[in-house]
Amino acid sequence: MTHKTQVGIIGAGPAGLTLSLLLHQAGIQSVIIEYRSRDYAESRVRAGLLEQNTVDLFNELGAAERLNKEGLQHQGVYLSFDGVRTRVPFNELTGGRGITIYGQQEMVKDLIKINIEREVPIHFEATATKLEDIDTASPKIQYIQNEETHVLECDFIAGCDGYHGISRKSMPTGSYNEFQKEYPFSWLGILAHVAPSSDELIYAYHERGFALHSLRSETVSRLYIQVDNNDKVENWPDKQIWDELEIRLTDNKGFKLNRGEIFEKSITPMRSFMIDNLQYGRLFLAGDAGHIVPPTGGKGLNLAVADIKWLSAAFIDWYKNNKEEPLLSYTSNCLPRIWRAQDFSNFMTTLFHKQAAQGSFDYHLQKAKFNYIIQSVAQATTIAENYVGLKEI
């Protein structure tokens, strides 16, 4: 069967779901094709750090009611190295900016609900299998749903289908260059029914490896530890995870870790991935389809939403004002921001993970970088302004 829309969106993650709402607000039609079920998309556990720009955009969309009620606003972050802990106060260093902690899957739930209320079509359990005619004015998405093949004819295709999706792979070889860096460690992340042990996030270097204390609510904590790439969740009984967190998060001021029932456990590899072109013909990539950052710093969701801000504005200019230039400048408008976040995510990752032997030259360089945060307001400000997100994106 053949269907028609103005913008065909592949993927109901934060990128696709935000784009459809922005287009709807401007009176532009879209259809979302999503491979997973609604249930699966809503329960996929990911990070949960929202920059002010991201929160502002969800507010403008009328999608922030629950986020404003349940999101936790943080004005600073704790950074630790070998038990020495310092606090970077965002509000003082960035003129009152901060971050909000709100699980990505909660945001996805809210965005799906609002899309459905506004009657934006989302086809769940529909797999985009082929993109056709992307270099013409009538590109098409072939997709399979309930074993039936459909074709969605569009003016534009937005590839919001993540790293493993088909959009990036549908751009011709030679139309972009890839850059990547694999890290020799992964994160074991848990969600636990337990009151957070800290009022703000703690990123900690320890000789046994990195640990991160994050949170979701007054009764749910989110924590991570650095593990080897070939490690398995089965190797980590709950008690061992808590013991390890306690050792790695300890400081010289008597930090106490609360323990509770772990209800989610998974291992995520760490990688940086980048391409230098987000557009081919009428196909535009946004979010993880075009770039991956390691999660240290929580930039993934914010980058996806910022891409969409530019992309939706460009589509709106095309439909409302007959302007093509913003679409043609989409890549060049986005790349500097994405590279900035790549650098910051890489900086945070290399600063807090165990990579070199304790006491080695590289270890001392890492420690010197950490000490400089304590010594220099300029360095603390650099971290704060990157962490909360630069205002101009």
Binding residues vs ligand APR (CB under 6 A): 10-16, 33-36, 41, 46-47, 104, 127-128, 160-162, 164-166, 287-289, 300-301, 304
- For ligand PHB (CB under 6 A), the number of binding residues is 11
Pick the closest to residue 284 from 19, 4, 12 (CA basis).
19
48 makes contact with ligand PHB (CB under 6 A): yes
- State the burial class of residue 36 (Cβ atoms within 10 Å of its Cβ: 0-12, 13-18, 19+): middle
Smallest gap from residue 10 Cβ to ligand APR (A): 5
Q: What is the CA radius of gyration of the chain?
A: 21
For ligand APR, give the closer residue by CB, 139 or 287: 287
Q: Please say which residue, 124 or 347, places its beta carbon nearer to ligand PHB.
A: 347
Residue 92's CB: how many other CB atoms inside 10 A?
14
222: contact with ligand PHB by CB under 6 A:
yes
Catalogue the active-site residues.
74, 203, 295, 299, 387
CB of 133 to ligand APR, least distance (A): 18
**Alpha-carbon dihedral angle through residues 68, 107, 392, 75, given to the nearest 10 degrees:** 50
Tokens, residue 59? 């507010």
> Exactly one of 214, 226, 272, 355 binds ligand PHB (CB under 6 A); which one?
214
Q: How far is the CB of 375 from ligand APR (least distance, A)?
A: 32
Per-residue interface string for the shown chain with ligand PHB, residues 276-305, x marking contact by CB under 6 A: -------------------xxxx-------
Residue 48 touches which member of ligand PHB, ligand APR, none, C-beta under 5-8 Å by kind: ligand PHB
Do residues 43 and 294 lie in contact, with contact meaning Cβ atoms separated by under 8 Å?
A: no
| Measured distance CA(51)–CA(48) in Å, rounded | 10
* DSSP alpha helix (H) spans, the chain: 14-25, 38-43, 52-60, 65-70, 90-93, 104-117, 167-170, 238-249, 300-321, 325-328, 330-352, 361-375, 377-388
Q: Are 152 and 141 in contact (CB under 8 A)?
A: yes
- Region from 46-54, 82-90, 258-266, 352-360 binding ligand PHB, contact rule CB under 6 A: 46-54
C-alpha 291/C-alpha 372 separation (Å) is 30
Q: Which is nearer to ligand PHB, 21 or 306 (CB)?
A: 306
Residues forming the site for ligand PHB (CB under 6 A): 47-49, 101, 201, 214, 222, 295-298
